[in-house]
Amino acid sequence: MEFGPIFKALKKRKAFAALIILQVAITLTVMIIALLVTRATLKEWNLPSGLDHDNIVAVYPQIFEESLNLKQTVEDDLHKIKQIPGVQLITPATQIPFSAENLTDVFIEDTEKAQSFQTSVFNLDVNGVAVLGLQLKQGRHFEDTEVIYNDNGQNTQPAVVMISEQMAEALFAQENPVGRSIYLGKNQPPVEIIGVYSNFMNGERLNFVGQSYRSVIRPMVEYIQGVDPNYLIRVEPGQTEVLLEEIRGKLYQTQGRFIQGVEFLSRTQKRMYDGRGSRSLIMLAVSFVLLIITGLGISGLISFLVAQQKKQIGTRRALGAKKFQIIRYYLIENSMITGIGLLLGVILSLVFLIIMATQSNSQLIHVGWIITITLFIWLISLVSALHPAMRAAKVEPAIVTRGA
């Protein structure tokens, strides 16, 4: 093919070649960085929650008045909220799905060197599993008598727990977990697993390491000053902000407390993913605009080249070159130039990626993605070159016969 002549022709137009090379190199660098950072950011993003999060409300009350009796207040709250029309079930809760940040080390044996499984423990009362709408996969539900209520100072531990499917798999692989014992921390008494429920999202800390659904539900309510229980409420479908305001108003009837938030779990979920989502969106938008600009630029430059070379093209056509050969010429020429640019771009982006990876301690480089992005940009440059190349092919051979 015409590599030789193209190369010779290019040497005469170094400036143009250099402009395209630079443009392609930098565009590729930006695209690779933006997309790989986005990839790292969006890892484990927007996974199924396993919850009916539009119909569950989380309440975060905080009591600061020391003279208030915590146990009494919580019991009153539960009673009051249950009276509100639209509310179905309620449970006190230490942690809230999507925001569980307190991790517990769980062990399956009581030895010094036992392997630890990090997980989120949710302390709920007997309604807990129903409020969250979890399905029972194995074993049975809690019974009323199994729920432990610890008033200030008491420290009784429940004898039974339920665990999620993912937790069961992590702990016992394919074996039946029901009836087995686990330890919620070093030097803790063993607790018996009585049931396995369907997976639900715990929170960002475990989600980030790919253990989004590891959880344990413990039938316990504790009244400790300063560590107030939150509430999880199952509401009838179709409830709106009006209900949230009503709950807030009811709770504020008791003086000496602050209601940090009353929200649907869908909002908690939104908060969990927000930071990552919007950052990636900006990156993607930036790369998209850049791609358009580069495409226009390449197209513009080659159009100009074509306009300049009308006569040569005409001569070639007059000498018998077919239309597709002219198109091929420009596409090959363009690919040769972009090829150099792409190579430069890959090198440049690797340099930056390595700098960033050491700075933020994360693994960013992914060969498959880099190759795909590079091919994609090559394709874009071909597409942008196609239109001017086709115009070149339309040059009439007769043009040569005309005087200048």
Partner 1 sequence: MFLYSLKLAKANLKNRPGLTLLTISAIAIGLALLTTTTTMSYQSSKIPLLEESEKIQTVLIDSRDQNARDITDVRRTPRLTYQDTQNLFTDATFPVEKTYLWKSFTFLNDENGDAHPRQVRTMAGLSNFFTMFKVPFLYGSGWSKADDENATPVIVLSYKMNQHFFGGENSVGKTIRINSSTLTVVGVLANWKLAARFYDRSFSTARFDDVFVPSSLALEINIPRRISCWEKDSEFVQDFSRENVNGLKASECTWLNLWVKLEDENQAKQYIDYLAQYVSDQKSFGRFPREHQPTLLSIKEYSELNSTNNTTLFIFALLSVLFFLVCLINTVGILLAKYMGKVPEIALRRALGAKKHVILMQYLIEIGLISFIGGVVGVILSYFGLKGMMKVYIYQSDYTVTADAIQHLYQLDWIMISQALLIAVGSSLIVSLYPVWKMCNTAPAGHLKAQ
Binding site for partner 1 (CB under 8 A): 15-16, 19-20, 22-23, 26-27, 29-30, 33-34, 37, 62, 64-67, 225-226, 252, 255-260, 267, 270-271, 274-275, 278-279, 282-283, 286, 289-290, 293-294, 296-297, 300-301, 303-304, 307-308, 352, 356, 359-360, 404
Cβ nearer to partner 1, comparing 311 with 322:
311
**Residue 66: CB atoms within 10 Å:** 9
| Cα–Cα distance for residue pair 7/30, rounded to 1 Å | 28
Yes or no: say if 91 and 131 are a contact pair by the CB < 8 Å rule.
Answer: yes
SS3 content of the chain, % helix, strand, coil (to 5): 50, 20, 30
Q: How far is the CB of 277 from partner 1 (least distance, A)?
A: 9
- Residue of 200, 175, 188 whose CA lies nearest to 50: 200
Minimum CB distance to partner 1, residue 200 (Å): 21
Helices (H), 127-228: 128-132, 165-172, 204-207
Using the minimum distance from each CB to partner 1, give the nearer residue, 24 or 163.
24
Nearer to partner 1, 20 or 132 (CB): 20
Q: Crossing angle for the helix pair 323-360 and 367-393, nearest 10 degrees?
A: 150
For residue 331, give the nearest of 387, 391, 395, 385 by alpha carbon.
385
Shortest reach from residue 27's CB to partner 1, in Å: 6
Using the minimum distance from each CB to partner 1, give the nearer residue, 111 or 255: 255
What's the closest the beta carbon of residue 80 comes to partner 1, in angstroms?
17
Phi, psi (rounded to 5 degrees) for 39: -60, -45
Q: In the bound complex, what is the minimum distance in angstroms from residue 351's beta carbon to partner 1? A: 11
Residue 99 or 166: the one with the smaller Cβ distance to partner 1 is 99
Cβ 183 to partner 1 shortest distance, Å = 18
Distance separating alpha carbons of residues 310 and 332, to the nearest angstrom: 18
Nearer to partner 1, 5 or 300 (CB): 300
Task: Take residue 95 and report the two structure tokens written for it.
Answer: 């942690």
239-244-245-247 Cα dihedral, nearest 10 degrees = 110
Smaller CB separation from partner 1, 98 or 142: 98
**Least separation, in Å, of the C-beta of 276 and partner 1?**
9
Which element (helix H / strand E) includes 3?
A: helix 3-12
